[in-house]
Chain A
Amino acid sequence: MRRGEHPSGAVVGGILAPHPPHLVYASNPPQNEPRSSGAGAWQELLAGYQRLRASLEARVYDVLVVHTPHWKTRTGTHFLGVPHFSGLSVDPIFPNLFRFQYELDVDVALSQSIHDHARDAGLSCQMMTNPEFRVDYGTLTSCHLVRPAGDLPVVAISSVRTAFDYCNEAGDQEMLALGRATRAAVEASGKSALCLASCSLSHRHYTTEPADPEDPAFESIHNENQAAWDRHILALMESGQSRRVFDEMPDFTDQCVAETRDGSLSWLLAAMDFPEVAGQVHGYGTVIGTGNAVVEWDLSR
């Protein structure tokens, strides 16, 4: 089936697509101003993204829908609502690594539709229509690593702070509703969507950085508790137990300081309607102590 010939829309796949700017830095794309030292850290993740891109080459999809932890909103879920953005993104946390010139097309129609479906489900939502808004680096990083050509429109969804303001369970329930709204809007759109959860797994950082941030000697998981939880969650994904991942999410988030607290993975699982197909783990590695996995669910089979 060719692009544009879908009788009805579908979420054709889901990707756990972590967003460490380090991976963009190490890849040296022309859009990024800093140049990597090439010292060799993060190879497992870089190779994982490479394997993901190879896997996606044969796949057909029209739009990337990304849920990002680095657009943090406390007044409900927000959606990009301007057709095109361009500008310079400087990471406020790692400005030494990520100063990225970007161009981003937005599928405003689909964005608006997900917004409307979510609002009808009772969620607090906003469209972001200020053309001077600087797109967050989570969206930019994940989209670039998944599809460096940047030739597809994007829907970017903010991370509402419900889990932080109330509790993990409340946050996950809101993401369940948002994921279902996303799925319904995609199906109604007639488009094929690849959904990206732009987040790490365990998320305890080291708070220091070596002189060369890419020095592999300084890279490891922050502690064994984080690694054990990451292994457990990945095993569930690989065995097709996505519902169990969701069920255990509040504990994983709490006990592993996981970035799943920001909602991206829960949203993704709901948007995919809790697939029983195995998630393919393309790579797992650490970035400044955090655990990151590149995982693909192919729902087109």
Chain B
Amino acid sequence: MSGQVLSGYLVPNQPLPLLAPDANRGWASLRDSCARVRAEIEASEADLLLLFSTRWVSIIGHQIQADPQPEWWVVDEDFHSYGSLHYKLRMDADFAAQYLDKAQARGLHARTVAYRGFPIDVGTITALRLLNPDNRIPACVVSCNMYSDRAETLVLGKAARDAVEASGRKAVVLGVSALSNRMFTRWIDPAHDRIHSQKDDEWNRKLLELLGDGRLEDVSQLAREFSHQANGDSKMKALWWMAAALGENNHYRGTVFDYQPVWGTGAALVGLQPAAASVGDLEYDEDGAEFFRGDRNVLAPNDPGRHE
């Protein structure tokens, strides 16, 4: 039986809604909205949560977490005064191996990682603690390569879909990412948190309007402009990856569960369920890559293929 990507969610990447929900009404709202998403996921047939986290940065290709039960703790680099996040997670190591195979089959440099004490990133821990607190559904996480651009990230998303289909899993994909990503660079009173600027807020709301209409592919195409204008998180690679994993189209029912500031950044909780109809089915000027052929190091003096 072929697997299936059931749905996708964009979820925040900052730990404050988990660490300090009582310090700010918006942070508490995000925590509460996660409970609604959690109920929606639990009501689905999902047997895999597949995450792409902008808080797990990689350099050497793409890393896939394959420790079946990572257990450790993490202290946020900025928000250490709010406490530690202890975790014991349940990962789908078999799926991680299949994702690795499919990524390599599409030309990507990738590897699985399973090391005691490996620092699972804050975004992943926060998302899983809020959406899957009892580890009922096993998870898998892939890193965000700092050099990959749209084409490579699309290929990574398509490899995720390949792996889900081949594995027979019913997967919910989670893009762990901020929208606008400009933080306050000083310590603020949490009660006075707000989006860093009106301009960032307006861009966030425009993006959420499109996502609310289910126009994920439109948002994927708009991501570069959004990132440029609103200091988008990691070029909005999480949305590229999600759009590819979900099929590169606008055929979704979008639900904006919440949108709040977290230390100046835009934190949104958005659900995308496949739908028969589409608000817009447009003709795009950017093609979707199917295979990754490596970095094109045009400045290398010799032997440019050595690292491909």
A contact residues vs B (CB 8 Å cutoff):
71-76, 78, 88, 90, 92-96, 99, 124, 126, 128-130, 132-134, 158, 160-162, 165, 205-209, 218, 222-225, 288-289
B58 touches A95 (CB 8 A): no
Determine which of A71, A94, A99, A224 lies in contact with B60 in the assembled complex, contact meaning CB atoms within 8 Å.
A94
Complex Cα spacing A218 to B303, Å: 11
Please give me the residue from chain B that is nearest to A128 by CB atom: B80
A90-B118 CB under 8 A given contacts A75-B183, A75-B184, A165-B182: yes
Q: Which residues of B contact A162 (CB under 8 A)?
A: 185
Q: Which residues of B contact A71 (CB under 8 A)?
A: 77
A126 and B187 within 8 A (CB): yes
Q: By CB atoms of chain B within 10 A, which of A92, A133, A165 has the most?
A: A92
Contact, CB under 8 Å: A207 / B263: no
Q: A93 near B186 (CB under 8 angstroms)?
A: no
11 residue pairs of the A-B complex, CB under 8 angstroms, read A75-B185, A88-B117, A90-B115, A90-B116, A92-B56, A95-B115, A99-B117, A124-B185, A129-B80, A130-B80, A134-B74
Q: B42 contacts which chain A residues (CB < 8 A)?
A: none
Our pick among B119, B187, B231 for the contact of A90 (Cβ within 8 Å) is B119
What chain A residues lie within 8 Å of B73 (beta carbons)?
Answer: 132
Cα–Cα distance between A160 and B84 once the two chains are bound (Å): 21
Q: Please give the distance in Å from A277's CB to the nearest CB on chain B.
A: 34
Minimum C-beta distance from B161 to chain A (A):
22
**Contact between chains at B75 and A134 (CB < 8 Å):** yes
A208 CB contact (under 8 Å) in B61, B83, B182, B187: B61
Q: Given contacts A76-B185, A288-B59, are A207 and B300 in contact (CB under 8 A)?
A: no
Mark interface residues in B266-308 (1 if CB within 8 Å of A CB, else 0): 0000000000000000000000000000110101110000111
The reply to whether the CB of B109 lies closer than 8 angstroms to some CB of chain A is yes
Query: CA separation between A243 and B184, bound complex, in Å?
Result: 31
In the assembled complex, which residues on chain B have CB atoms less than 8 Å from the CB atom of A76? 185-187
With a cutoff of 8 Å between Cβ atoms, the chain A residues found around residue B84 in the complex are 130, 132
* A74 engages B185 (CB within 8 Å): yes
- With the chains together, A218 CA to B56 CA distance in Å? 26
> Chain B: which residue is nearest A161 at the CB level?
B185
A165 CA / B119 CA spacing, docked (Å): 25
Using a Cβ cutoff of 8 Å, how many contacts connect chains A and B?
Answer: 114
With both beta carbons as reference points, the residue of chain B lying nearest to A205 in the complex is identified as B59
Q: Answer whether residue B33 sits at the interface, using C-beta atoms and an 8 A cutoff.
A: no
Residue from B57, B73, B183, B300 whose CB has the most chain A CB atoms within 10 Å: B300
Known: A99-B115, A206-B307. A92 touches B57 (CB 8 A): yes
Q: What DSSP secondary structure best describes chain A's contact surface?
A: loop
* A92 engages B299 (CB within 8 Å): no
Contact A92 B121 (CB under 8 A): yes
Residue from the list A99, A128, A165, A207 in contact with B59, Cβ < 8 A: A207
> In the complex, which of the residues B61, B81, B117, B184 contacts A130, with contact meaning CB atoms closer than 8 Å?
B81
Q: Looking at chain B's contact residues, is the secondary structure mostly helix, strand, loop, or mixed? A: loop
Asked if A95 and B113 sit within 8 Å, CB to CB, the answer is yes
Let me know if B78 and A207 touch, CB within 8 A. no
Output the least CB separation between B15 and chain A (Å). 13
CA distance A207 to B307 in the complex (A): 8
Q: Are B121 and A207 in contact (CB under 8 A)?
A: no
- Choose from B75, B147, B187, B306 the contact partner of A205 (Cβ within 8 Å): B147
Residues of A within 8 A of B119 (CB): 90, 92, 134
Which residues of the other chain, B, contact A289 by a CB distance below 8 angstroms? 307
A207–B300 CA distance with the chains assembled, in angstroms: 14
B145 CB-CB contact with A under 8 Å: yes
B147 pairs with A95, CB closer than 8 A: no
B48-62 interface mask toward A, CB cutoff 8 Å, 1 = contact, 0 = none? Answer: 000000001111110
Chain B residues in 8 Å Cβ range of A92 = 56-58, 118-119, 121
> Which residues of chain A have C-beta atoms less than 8 A from B182's C-beta?
165
Q: How far is the CB of A147 from chain B (nearest CB, A)?
A: 24
CA separation between A162 and B184, bound complex, in Å?
11
Could you tell me the distance in whole angstroms from the C-beta of B160 to the nearest C-beta in chain A?
Answer: 19
Within 8 A of A (CB), among B139-193: 145, 147-148, 182-187
In the complex, A300 Cα to B296 Cα: how many Å? 47
Which A residues are in CB contact (< 8 Å) with B306?
A: 218
In Å, the complex CA distance between A151 and B79 comes to 30
Selected from A74, A124, A128, A208, the residue in CB contact (under 8 A) with B109 is A208
| Chain B min CB distance to A31 (Å) | 13
Distance to closest chain B CB from A216 (angstroms):
12
CB < 8 Å: which of B58, B75, B294 contacts A133? B75
Asked if residues A95 and B75 are in contact (CB atoms below 8 Å), the reply is no
Taking CB as reference atom, which chain A residue is nearest B182?
A165
How many whole Å from A135's CB to the nearest CB in chain B? 10
- Are B299's CB and A225's CB within 8 A? yes
Q: Name the CB-closest residue of A to B303.
A: A220
CB-nearest residue of chain A to B300: A223
How long is the Cα–Cα vector from A71 to B187 in the complex, in angstroms? 17
Minimum CB–CB distance for A67 against chain B, Å:
15
Question: Which A residue sits closest to B109, measured CB to CB?
Answer: A208
Closest chain A residue to B114 by CB distance? A95
Specify the chain B residue showing the minimal Cβ separation from A126. B187
Docked-complex contact B295 and A207, CB < 8 angstroms? yes
A residues in contact with B297, CB < 8 Å? 222-223
Q: What's the Cα separation between A94 and B115 when bound, in Å? A: 11
* CB under 8 Å from chain A, chain B span 83-126: 83-84, 109, 113, 115-119, 121
- State the Cβ distance, B300 to closest chain A Cβ, in Å: 5
Chain B residues near A218 (CB-CB < 8 A):
306-307
Q: Say yes or no: A75 contacts B109, CB within 8 Å.
A: no
A269 to B308, CA, bound (A): 38
